[in-house]
């Protein structure tokens, strides 16, 4: 059986979204407001069209992930799924307060935590995720699991290939670029538990929104002292 599933990163302003192509096509995250055309151009480039996207999974409700979801739903007809605990963020179109994990987060928070950078077009999500969401019915062999910590409603997408998309659960540290906790984290202990949960079931690559993908082994090594 062929277990490969295509993950196509879409580089956007300050972040990335991911087109996942198996039998069906889904999108993970949507970038800041105004990213919809870049995402649809990428889809076109790989031979797809807007109506191919049947589901948009938001890894959480921060503006750089949920910002173009309303516009993309309009252009694709896809359903938008978000975890129940981040649903109020998208309903309000506001990511809420960022909680810096350390110095880098405090400094960068001056730019990414401003009122303007925090808000985006609000919308009512179509699907509320609890513990998990199966993706088979959208043509993708995989599932979404709850991996809270960075925000209460963070989710990760696991694919049959053994790869995962973890959104903001893991950041590359500055300057070593080694896997580390996010610069902003609502609950650090919970984030560490989620990272452990993820690497225990992900043998392959872990794609993140703000940097290059890591291997599961690399992440395990970086966090071994914390588990
Ligand atoms: Zn975030
Ligand atoms: Zn982010």
Residue with tokens 């392959």: 204
Q: For residue 2, how far is its CA from the centre of ligand 2 (angstroms)?
A: 32
Task: Note the pLDDT of residue 227.
Answer: 67
Ligand 1: centre distance to CA 208 (Å) = 11
Say what the pLDDT of residue 118 is. Answer: 95
How high is the pLDDT of residue 22? Answer: 97
Expressed in angstroms and rounded, the spacing between residue 10 Cα and the centre of ligand 2 is 14
Query: Residue 225 has what pLDDT?
Result: 77
The structural domains of the chain, ordered by start, are 6-226 (3.60.15.10)
The rounded Å distance from CA 52 to ligand 2 centre is 25
Q: Separation of 208 CA from ligand 2 center, angstroms? A: 9
Q: How many A from CA of 72 to the centre of ligand 2?
A: 18
Q: What is the pLDDT of residue 19?
A: 98
- Ligand 1 centroid–CA 2 distance in Å is 33
- The closest of 186, 190, 181 to 151, measured between CA atoms, is 186
Q: 5 alpha carbon to ligand 1 midpoint, in Å? A: 25
pLDDT at residue 111 in the model: 84
Ion ligand 2: residues, CB within 5 A, are 64, 168, 209
The whole-angstrom distance between residue 220's C-alpha and the CA centroid of its chain comes to 20
* pLDDT tens across the length of the chain (227 residues): 899 999 999 999 999 999 999 999 999 999 999 999 999 999 999 999 999 999 999 999 999 999 999 999 999 999 999 999 999 999 999 999 999 988 888 988 888 888 899 999 999 999 999 999 999 999 999 999 999 999 999 999 999 999 999 999 999 998 899 999 999 999 999 999 999 999 999 999 999 999 999 999 999 999 987 76
Question: Which of these, 68, 48, 37, 36, lies nearest to 8 by C-alpha position?
Answer: 48
- Separation of CA 177 and ligand 2 centre (Å): 16
Query: 1 C-alpha vs ligand 2 centroid, how far in Å?
Result: 35
What is the Å distance from ligand 1's center to 168 Cα?
A: 5
Q: How far is the CA of 204 from the centre of ligand 1 (A)?
A: 23
**HEC string for the chain:** CCCCCEEEEEEECCEEEEEEECCCEEEECCCCCCCHHHHHHHHHHCCCCHHHEEEEECCCCCHHHHCCHHHHHHHHCCEEEEEHHHHHHHHHCECCCCCECCHHHHHHHHHHCCHHHHECCCCCCCEEECCEEECHHHCCCEEEEECCCCCCCCEEEEECCCCEECCCCCEECCCCCCEECCCECCCHHHHHHHHHHHHHHCCCEEECCCCCCEEHHHHHHHHHHHC
Ligand nearest to the CA of 151: 1
């Amino acid at each position: 059986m062929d277990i490969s599933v295509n993950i196509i990163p879409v580089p956007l302003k300050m972040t990335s979204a991911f087109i996942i192509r198996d039998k069906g096509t889904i999108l993970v995250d949507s970038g800041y407001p105004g990213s919809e055309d870049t995402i649809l151009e990428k889809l076109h480039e790989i031979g797809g069209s807007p109506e191919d996207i049947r589901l948009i999974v938001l890894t959480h409700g921060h503006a750089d992930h949920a910002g173009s979801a309303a516009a993309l739903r309009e252009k694709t007809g896809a359903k938008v799924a978000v975890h129940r605990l981040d649903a109020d963020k998208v309903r309000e179109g506001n990511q809420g307060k960022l909680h810096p994990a350390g110095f880098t987060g405090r400094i960068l928070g001056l730019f990414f935590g401003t009122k303007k950078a925090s808000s985006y077009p609000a919308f009512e999500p179509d699907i509320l995720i609890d513990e998990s969401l199966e993706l088979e019915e959208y043509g993708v062999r995989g599932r979404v699991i709850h991996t809270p910590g960075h925000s209460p409603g963070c989710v990760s997408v696991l694919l049959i290939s053994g790869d995962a998309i973890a959104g903001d659960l893991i950041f590359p540290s500055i300057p070593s670029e080694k896997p580390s906790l996010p610069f902003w984290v609502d609950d650090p202990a919970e984030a560490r538990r989620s990272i452990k949960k993820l690497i225990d079931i992900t043998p392959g690559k872990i794609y993140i929104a703000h940097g290059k993908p890591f291997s599961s082994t690399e992440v395990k090594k970086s966090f071994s002292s914390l588990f």
